[in-house]
Amino acid sequence: MKRVFLAMCCAAILPARAAISVTDDDGATVTLQQPARRVVSLAPHVTEMLFAAGGGDRVVGAVNFSDYPPAARSIPRVGDNRLVDIERLLALKPDLLVAWRHNASSRQMAQLRRLGIPLYYSEPHKLEDIPEAIVKLGQLMGTTQAAQQTAGRLRTQLEELVVRYRQRPPVRVFYQVWDKPLYTLNERHIISDAIRVCGGENIFAKLPLVAPSLSPEAVLQENPEAIVSGDRRDQAVSGVEIWKQYPSMLAVRRGNLFALDADLVNRSGPRILAGATQLCEKLEEARSRRGDRQ
C-alpha cells in the first residue's frame, strides 16, 4: 500500500510530456502532443527528408515517385503530390502529414485539416533551408539526434561550396526545366539559390512566376553563357540538345550545354546538395572555356 501511495505521489509531481511545436515553411505552427509514429509523405522530396531525419520506419504512406532511398519504394502509395486518395490515406491512420506547399491540392489539404490531422508544409527556397527542415522533421518524429547528424553533414557540404565558389567570376545561366513546353524557374525556387552559390546568375530570376514558360527567342535574346537542364534518367536525348540549332549562342559556341540528374536538382531534398556540387563543377567548366582565362 505504501509503494502504491509513493508511486501516485511521484506521478503527481512529474511534469507532463511537453508538446512538440515547430514552424513549417508556410509560417504555420505545427504542434504534436507526442512524436509522430505514422507519417504520410505527400511529395517525393519530403520522403527523402523524412528518411534523412531518421524517420524512415515511421513513414507509412507516400506519393508516386517516392523512390529514394530504395527502402521508400515499398511504402504504400496514396496518389501523387497533386491529388491524393483521401480514403486510402485515412486508412493508414496517420498522425502527421508532410506536404509540398507548391503542388498540394489546397482543397484536399483543407479537408485533411478539418479531420484534425496535423499538417506540415515543406517548401524550401534556399539550400540552407534543407538541413533546418530535416531538424524540424526530426523533432516532430522524435528522431532529433539522427536528424541533427544529417543536418550537420549537409551544412558542412554547403559551407564548402560557398567558400570555394563565392569569389569566382559570375556565369550567366539559363536553367531549363523542360523543353516541351520550354520553361524555367525564377529566384524563388531553390535551384536558383544553388546557381547563386555556384557563382552563377539566373538570367530569368526576376520573372514573377516561379515556373514561367518561355519562347526560344527570349532565351536567345539573353544569350546565356551556360544552359543547364535537369534531365530524367529515361530521356533518350538530353533536353539541352535543342539549342545546338543556334550555333551563334554563346553557350552553344563554347560547348556549355550541361545535363544534370533531375532527381538531384529538381527535388528540394537532401540530395540537392549533391546536385549543387555537380552544378558548380559545370559552371567551373564554363569559366575554363573563356578566351580571357578568367
Task: Provide, rounded to the nearest whole percent, the portion of the chain with pLDDT above 70.
Answer: 90
Task: Provide, rounded to the nearest whole percent, the portion of the chain with pLDDT above 90.
Answer: 79
Q: Is the pLDDT of residue 11 over 50?
A: no
Which one-letter DSSP state was computed for residue 172?
E
Q: Say if 16-152 and 169-288 have the same CATH topology.
A: yes
Report the interhelical angle of 272-288 vs 190-197 (nearest 10°): 50
Q: Which amino acid is at 208?
A: P
4 pLDDT tier (thresholds 50, 70, 90):
very low
What is the grid cell recorded at 28? 504555420
CATH of 16-152, one of 3.50.50.60, 3.40.50.1980, 3.30.565.60, 3.40.640.10: 3.40.50.1980
Q: Where are the domains of the chain?
A: 16-152, 169-288
Coil vs helix vs strand at 258: strand
What's the rounded mean pLDDT across residues 50-61?
A: 98
Does residue 222 or residue 234 have the better pLDDT? Answer: 222
Q: Which of 46, 267, 94, 48 is nearest to 85 (CA)?
A: 94
pLDDT of residue 193: 97
pLDDT of residue 2: 47
Does residue 274 or residue 14 have the better pLDDT? Answer: 274
Q: What's domain 169-288's superfamily in CATH?
A: Nitrogenase molybdenum iron protein domain (3.40.50.1980)
pLDDT in tens, 205-225: 999 999 999 999 999 999 999
pLDDT of residue 12: 46
pLDDT of residue 106: 78
pLDDT of residue 221: 97
pLDDT of residue 294: 41
pLDDT in tens, 98-135: 998 776 677 888 888 899 999 999 999 999 999 999 99
Q: What are the E-state strand segments in 35-150?
A: 39-42, 59-61, 96-100, 119-122
Q: Is the pLDDT of residue 44 over 90?
A: yes
